[in-house]
């Protein structure tokens, strides 16, 4: 059965629970239920063959009580207003959870980038920035990469923005190429942040890495790097997938070799591995499941079949509220997206700080700062969950919402 995906309704449902337990005032509740601004544009694009096309584009500026709006831009056919709004709200919570001085925003262009040439992608990226004129800025709203957007795309966007404002402003966007002021370590930081959090849990439970079997869904920036970092740490990667294929091998897969061969031949393959469906991948025998692709994967249909005891959400919104309820009932630990994948935005914060100072850090310095930031956020959420006897997701919401409402109250919204 197909599970209906209503990401913003899912956010409101989770917020309602938190609002009740925190006894929020109606003003605070409205502020957290409503985006500050929704900017919608039609982008007029000329294809390589001369055809004209229009693409729908969004930027949602959800909340900036704690600092400028922050959040990625995704290129995906599913990036409609409902999804972008939910993702913008999640960014506000996420930045508060890891305590970086940003609010939440998100952007999306609703199209399938795989059907477009590199030159077309560049034109679309530049047109987006021109059409969104006045939206972005180092102290206002700072985009970053997300699903199917890359450092190169951030480079085009920065270049277009700087042409418009007529001055250098590298801190208006993060996740950009190193040559334009990007931070060392930003490329692997989402995965690395997730691994830091996972390792806190593994250590706390006294588990033996070599005995832990991991399945990773998704082979993009987050999924691929998570699989390779965990593989190098000694975990056994028994399942991997990209948008076309899923592989299982109980003897272990080598994500680095698989990545190399995917770059050569275009498909995910490994000698001896079994090709399975996405459903079989999610239901595979393993200890740790890492959804690192799209949202709404672990639902009323798929959650009952999950065999993992730990879920690390590197994707945004991979578990539906029904999925959450099933995992809670089954005693499965879900490390929620707003914590698990926050290493990306935390390192975006470090990038922004470096841009402001025009003083750049080594990769070691970046990770020396990221590690305690993630570990502290994990322990704060763990303690809250124990105290309030809730899931980690609810605890993360409580912590995030509390920090946002404290900032709102300091601005007079009480």
Q: Is 140 a catalytic residue?
A: no
Binding residues with ligand GLU: total (CB under 6 A): 12
Residues numbered 127-146 forming contacts with ligand GLU, rule: CB under 6 A: 144, 146
Paired strand residues for 41: 57
Residue 144 vs 339, nearer CB to ligand GLU = 144
Q: In this chain, which stretch among 107-115, 130-138, 338-346, 393-401 interacts with ligand GLU, using CB under 6 A?
A: 338-346
For ligand GLU, the closer of residues 69 and 327 by Cβ is 69
| Contact of 311 with 66, CB cutoff 8 Å | no
Nearest-CB residue for ligand GLU? 72
169-208 footprint of ligand GLU as x/- string (CB under 6 A):
-----xx---------------------------------
- Using an 8 Å Cβ cutoff, are 197 and 374 in contact? yes
Q: Please, what is the minimum distance in Å from the beta carbon of residue 90 to ligand GLU?
A: 7
Of the pair 239, 317, the CB lying nearest ligand GLU is at 317
φ, ψ of residue 192 to 5 degrees: the values are -60, -40
Residues 372-411 that bind ligand GLU (CB under 6 A): none
Report DSSP letters for 347-358, one per residue.
HHHHHHHHHHHT
The 3-state secondary structure of 62-92, one letter per residue: EECCCCCEECCEEECCCCCHHHHHHHHHHHH
DSSP structural state of residue 304: G
Q: How far apart are CA 102 and CA 1, in angstroms?
A: 39
Instruction: Tell me the C-alpha distance between 69 and 141, whole Å.
Output: 4
Pairing verdict, β 236-241 and 213-217: parallel
316: contact with ligand GLU by CB under 6 A = yes
Q: How far is the CB of 174 from ligand GLU (least distance, A)?
A: 5
Catalytic residue (choose from 85, 94, 106, 262): 106
Site string for ligand GLU, 342-371 (x = CB under 6 A): --xx--x-----------------------
- Secondary structure (3-state) at 49: coil
Residues 63-82, one symbol each (x = binds ligand GLU by CB under 6 A, - = not), give -------xxx----------
Instruction: Write out the two tokens for 298.
Output: 């672990």
Q: How far, rounded to the nearest angstrom, does the alpha carbon of residue 11 sit from its chain's CA centroid? A: 15
The whole-angstrom separation of Cα 343 and Cα 374 is 7
Nearer to ligand GLU, 146 or 242 (CB): 146
* Cα(252)–Cα(250) distance, integer angstroms: 5
Q: Which residues belong to the active site?
A: 106
Residues that bind ligand GLU (CB under 6 A): 70-72, 144, 146, 174-175, 316, 341, 344-345, 348
């Amino acid at each position: 059965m197909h599970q209906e995906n209503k990401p913003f309704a899912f956010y409101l449902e989770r917020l309602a629970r938190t609002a009740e337990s925190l006894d929020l005032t109606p003003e605070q509740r409205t502020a957290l239920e409503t985006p500050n601004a929704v900017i919608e544009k039609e982008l007029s694009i000329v294809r390589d063959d001369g055809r004209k096309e229009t693409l729908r584009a969004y930027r949602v500026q959800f909340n900036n009580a704690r600092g400028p709006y922050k959040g990625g831009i995704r290129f995906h056919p599913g990036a409609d207003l409902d999804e972008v709004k939910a993702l913008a709200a999640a960014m506000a919570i996420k930045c508060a959870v890891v305590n970086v001085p940003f609010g939440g925003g998100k952007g999306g262009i609703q199209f399938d980038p795989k059907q477009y040439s590199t030159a077309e992608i560049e034109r679309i990226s530049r047109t987006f920035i021109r059409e969104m004129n006045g939206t972005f800025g180092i102290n206002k709203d700072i985009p970053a990469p997300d699903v199917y957007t890359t450092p190169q795309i951030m480079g085009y966007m920065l270049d277009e923005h700087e042409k418009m404002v007529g001055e250098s402003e590298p801190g208006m966007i993060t996740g950009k190429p190193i040559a334009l002021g990007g931070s060392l370590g930003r490329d692997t930081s989402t995965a690395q942040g997730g691994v830091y959090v996972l390792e806190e849990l593994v250590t706390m439970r006294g588990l033996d890495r070599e005995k832990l079997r991991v399945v990773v869904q998704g082979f993009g920036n987050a999924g691929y790097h998570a699989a390779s970092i965990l593989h190098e740490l000694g975990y056994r990667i028994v399942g991997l997938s990209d948008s076309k294929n899923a592989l299982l091998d109980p003897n272990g897969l080598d994500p680095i070799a698989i990545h190399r061969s995917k770059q050569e031949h275009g498909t995910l393959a490994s000698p001896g591995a079994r090709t399975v469906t996405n459903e079989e991948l999610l239901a595979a025998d393993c200890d740790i499941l890492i959804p690192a692709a799209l949202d709404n994967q672990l639902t009323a249909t798929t959650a009952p079949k999950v065999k993992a005891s730990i879920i690390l959400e590197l994707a945004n919104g991979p578990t539906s509220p029904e999925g959450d309820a099933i995992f809670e009932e089954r005693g499965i630990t879900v490390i929620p997206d707003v914590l698990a994948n926050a290493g990306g935005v935390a390192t975006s914060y470090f990038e922004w700080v470096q841009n402001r100072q025009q003083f750049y850090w080594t990769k070691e310095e970046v990770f020396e700062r990221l590690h305690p930031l993630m570990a502290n956020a994990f322990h704060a959420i763990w303690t809250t969950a124990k105290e309030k006897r809730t899931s980690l997701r609810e605890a993360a919401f409580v912590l995030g919402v509390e920090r946002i409402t404290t900032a709102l109250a300091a601005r007079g919204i009480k």
